[in-house]
Chain A
């Protein structure tokens, strides 16, 4: 009974937290877009859970967070949250998620072995990954296709030497009108509005950027 109440509280807490966080940020981010892309929504929820677990001993999640990969598998959604694991190493924390509208229930499954990986400079918070997810799904709907068609979503931290900017790279796999798997690539970066409010602004691009896990 306590376990059920605890999990329900965690689910509701995550839902409320995401909603409150978005409303605090001046510009109107239409979170309903994330509901239309369950795979992306599950990824965002999983990062929140990962952050909760990481910080339960008082640590603060920072540059350790690299990103996530989320995909639909036989009615469920499996999410791998990527994080650094020592110098030049990366690991995956795996979650199994079920969605109900804007709320999600994700169970931790296991942690993968570490493998070699050169992380990009900079860092993005869990909240910034959520902002990027909202902007990416909004752009996908405006310019490409229905978000519900997204079957797999990968978000990861990257860095561009030309502009000396960190950014979040996005790769979306989706079913097109011919029922074939299509790929769309985006990158998201900080954009400062004239009124001082910042957001993650996403752009389309031809191919995936560097540092993909």
Chain B
């Protein structure tokens, strides 16, 4: 009996150590974020003050910056993002990709509504490219659905954009312009809102073939 008790204790201790010794910190973060703090299926944490952000029903709006809990696999990686969002006059939405935990030192894609037009800028390493002319067919007065490939595992990071309402490819920065503004050096992604309304955001495998 005494031996059996010791054996059970030993097995319990072994199991405890085994279960506690390995864990995925990334999954811990995702699991630790309440479901109410998400846009679609993507959970987020706030990067700065969240006083002016509204969320809880699967959408995100207002003013503030969020970093998504599920980070990118590696710095040298490629992803496809789907954004469904609306902008009032003069308001902005920025997608951050391949950035550090503060969403700096990465790739910033900024959308700004001016009248019925959508202005689009790409920034990296202090360099900003104006891609607005490629979005002239977008009606910024209604909800927009934009697909974005970010290819950050190549000598020159490049971007491909689609209008997911019409299905049209809008811009391939590796072809239509001289590449991109620079590279991203982190594994985080997120959004900065300046009175924008985000219905949905998704991250997945790259859609473009090159």
- A→B interface (CB under 8 Å): 139, 142-143, 158, 160, 162-165, 167, 184-185, 187, 189, 191, 193-194, 201, 203-206, 209
Contacts and interface: CB of A to CB of B under 8 A. Distances in A.
Interface string B38-81: 00000000000000000000000000000000000000100000
Nearest to B158: A203
A145 B153 CA distance: 28
Q: Which of B155, B178, B210 has the largest number of chain A CB atoms within 10 A? A: B155
A193 B209 contact: yes
Contact of A143 (B154, B175, B183, B210): B175
Given A163-B154, A194-B209, A206-B178, 9 more contacts: A142-B175, A143-B175, A160-B155, A164-B76, A191-B209, A203-B175, A204-B178, A205-B179, A206-B156
Interface residues of B, number: 15
A158 to B, nearest CB: 8
A158 B156 CA distance: 13
A158 B155 CA distance: 10
22 contacts: A142-B175, A143-B176, A160-B155, A163-B76, A163-B153, A163-B154, A163-B155, A164-B76, A184-B178, A187-B155, A191-B209, A191-B210, A194-B209, A201-B210, A203-B174, A203-B210, A204-B177, A204-B179, A205-B155, A205-B178, A206-B156, A206-B178
Nearest to B157: A162
A163 B185 CA distance: 12
A37 to B, nearest CB: 18
Contacts of A158: 155
Contacts of B179: 203-206
A158 B210 CA distance: 19
Contacts of A187: 155-156
A142 B177 CA distance: 12
B155 A209 contact: yes
Interface string B188-201: 00000000000000
Nearest to A164: B76
Nearest to A209: B155
B155 A165 contact: yes
A204 B174 contact: yes
Contact of A162 (B76, B175, B177): B76
Contacts of A163: 76, 153-155
Contact of B183 (A139, A162, A203, A209): A162
B175 A204 contact: yes
Contacts of A205: 155-156, 178-179
Contact of A189 (B76, B155, B176, B183): B155
Interface string B163-194: 00000000000111111000100000000000
A143 to B, nearest CB: 5
A165 to B, nearest CB: 7
A176 B146 CA distance: 34
Nearest to A194: B209
B184 to A, nearest CB: 10
